[in-house]
Structure 1
Amino acid sequence: MAKLNQPTTSGKKTRQRKTGRRHPLATFALIAIGLGLTGGVYAAANAAPSAASADTAAASQQQIQQGNKLFEANCASCHGMNAVGTSAAPSLIGVGAAAVDFQVGTGRMPMAMDGPQAEEKPPQMTDAETKELAAYVASLAPGPAIPSQQYLNGDGDAAAGAQLFRINCAMCHNVAGAGGALTEGKFAPPLKGVSPVHIYEAMLTGPQNMPVFNDQNITPSQKADIITYLTYLEKNPSPGGFSLGDLGPVAEGLFLWIFGLGSIVGLAVWITAKSN
């Protein structure tokens, strides 16, 4: 009887070992599923900033063709015929319509001369031509789009915008948006008189030495708050009188030290000389 039962016990152990054993490809399948889910979440998160808005609807083929002609005539000598970049200028593949609208709309591009950074000047292209050029560059690869008007009206939260501006922007642009010097001859330009769309595009694309503040760093509504704060500064001049260029307490202290104490010393010398 013992011999008859022995195969049964062995078979039971074999079945237990087979049923409790994991398939060799199970680990790879789990890794593949995890990578797929991670990639899907990442792609969905990064698709939001490039979602089309009222100003970023698909450009017509005619716009793209006109933009291609403008690019070949004005930009290809530096950026290459296919916008892939050269030793003189970077590639424009993936920069999006917002970068083109900012650089060309503010006159920074095409550059007048080489220098530490492209400086603002009167635009060389009309608004329609700028939009055509932006449509062509945007057709080459996905990138940040021109922002919707709903974020540019200056009707956000100015107090929240002031806090965001102090945290993210004031170290270069000054708390009053007056601009400031950087290293190697570069500078952060003043923000007074800059249109809201160009302020938004600068945050979105990070021109020159400016960091990129995409919609994960600063949301569109927060960008609108910053624009509201800068609009408030435009409409409300310094309540204390002469602003001294909005250069802050150092400039004000230096002004008082030189002119205030200088006037007192001069007055004392005048009184002494007159009495003698």
Structure 2
Amino acid sequence: MPSINRRHPAALALLILFGLFFAGTAFAAVSPKQADATATTVASVDDIAEGKKLFTANCATCHGANGLGVDGAGPSLAGVGAASVDFQMETGRMPMAKPGAQAPRVEQIKFSEEQIHQIGAYVASLGAGPAIPEAEYYDGSKGDAGKGGELFRVNCAMCHNSAGAGGALTRGKYAPKVTDVDPKHIYEAMLTGPQSMPVFNDANLTPEEKRDVIAYIEGQQEAGNPGGNPLGSLGPVPEGLFIWTLGLGLFVAAAVWLGQKSA
């Protein structure tokens, strides 16, 4: 006699499907939000249109007319977001004056703040990416410098030096110094990972942790160099070399002086 409690063959598959659906929904609900949560106001259609004109006139040669890049010239900008544009252009790194291993920071920027915002709006329309953060997220006075110091030493010091003075990388590239840099640009750099820098999205470092790092960097700047000349803030190697050279020179000078006195 057949059992009345026998399950339908599709019951197990249906149960697994529902389990995956609810697991995915729960993960989406509790997972950290990306930089859009820290974004400024949404760009208007006019800003996007004006940004496209500026992009075509100034950026398309390297990045392509549709922003998807040109082989051997410039990478695709789809998905880099307005934050990347804001960082690269407000620091004068883009557009590059000449080809090189790395785009250096330039004090004299070519575009106005409004034009950079418009170009960023157009680039953001090419694909979802990090938006420009609001001021509260990079206000170092609201951060914890002690916690930021721990995060900086774990995630940043190997390239930027424990004092934030920067350092050399491979193939002519380098990690720039992070002192005397606008805190908004520090936040955007962590968010977008320019050039050789890795991306620290909100799943790696939360917005609050990024602010803590900024608080630490600002604290380093305010502390100055109470020990005297920092010798490039490059650590014990140049300090030891300086002491060795100075000490050896003093010993040589003392030996010469004693030799003359005894003659």
TM-score by length of 1: 0.88
Q: Which amino acid aligns with 2:122?
A: Y
Total equivalences in the alignment: 260
Distance 1:50 1:200 in 2: 10
Equivalent residue number for residue 169 of structure 1: 156
2:32·2:202 contact (CA, 8 Å) conserved in 1? no
1:192 deviates by 1.6
SS in 1 for 2:50: helix
Distance 1:68 1:149 in 2: 26
SS in 2 for 1:151: helix
| Selected match of 1:80 from 64, 72, 82 | 64
Whether 1:22 and 2:7 are equivalent positions in the alignment is yes
Distance 1:21 1:111 in 2: 71
Whether 1:235 and 2:219 are equivalent positions in the alignment is no
2:35·2:201 contact (CA, 8 Å) conserved in 1? no
2:35·2:133 contact (CA, 8 Å) conserved in 1? no
Equivalent residue number for residue 128 of structure 2: 142
Distance 1:47 1:65 in 2: 32
SS in 2 for 1:51: helix
Deviates more, 1:23-32 or 1:251-260: 23-32
1:101·1:131 contact (CA, 8 Å) conserved in 2? yes
Equivalent residue number for residue 250 of structure 2: 263
Equivalent residue number for residue 54 of structure 2: 70
1:50·1:142 contact (CA, 8 Å) conserved in 2? no
Task: Go from structure 1 to structure 2 and tell me whether the alpha carbon gap of 1:201 and 1:46 turns closer, same or farther (over 3 Å shift).
Answer: farther
Deviates more, 1:60-69 or 1:171-180: 60-69
1:177 deviates by 0.3
Equivalent residue number for residue 49 of structure 1: 34
Structure 1 alignment gaps of length 5 or more: 1-12
- 1:224-257 Cα offsets, whole Å, 9 max, x none, are 0110111111111112111111111111111101
1:56 deviates by 2.0
Equivalent residue number for residue 6 of structure 1: none
Deviates more, 1:253-262 or 1:42-51: 42-51
* Matching of residues 210-229 of structure 1 within 5 Å: 210-229=197-216
Distance 1:240 1:194 in 2: 23
Equivalent residue number for residue 133 of structure 1: 119
- 1:38-91 Cα offsets, whole Å, 9 max, x none, are 4434544567214344x5211111111111111101111111111112202111
Whether 1:206 and 2:190 are equivalent positions in the alignment is no
Distance 2:97 2:15 in 1: 56
Distance 2:68 2:31 in 1: 23
TM-score by length of 2: 0.92
Task: Go from structure 1 to structure 2 and tell me whether the alpha carbon gap of 1:41 and 1:103 turns closer, same or farther (over 3 Å shift).
Answer: farther
SS in 2 for 1:163: helix
Distance 1:271 1:218 in 2: 62
Identity within the alignment, %: 54
| Selected match of 2:147 from 142, 149, 160 | 160
Equivalent residue number for residue 103 of structure 1: 88
CA RMSD of aligned residues (A): 1.7
Structure 2 alignment gaps of length 5 or more: none
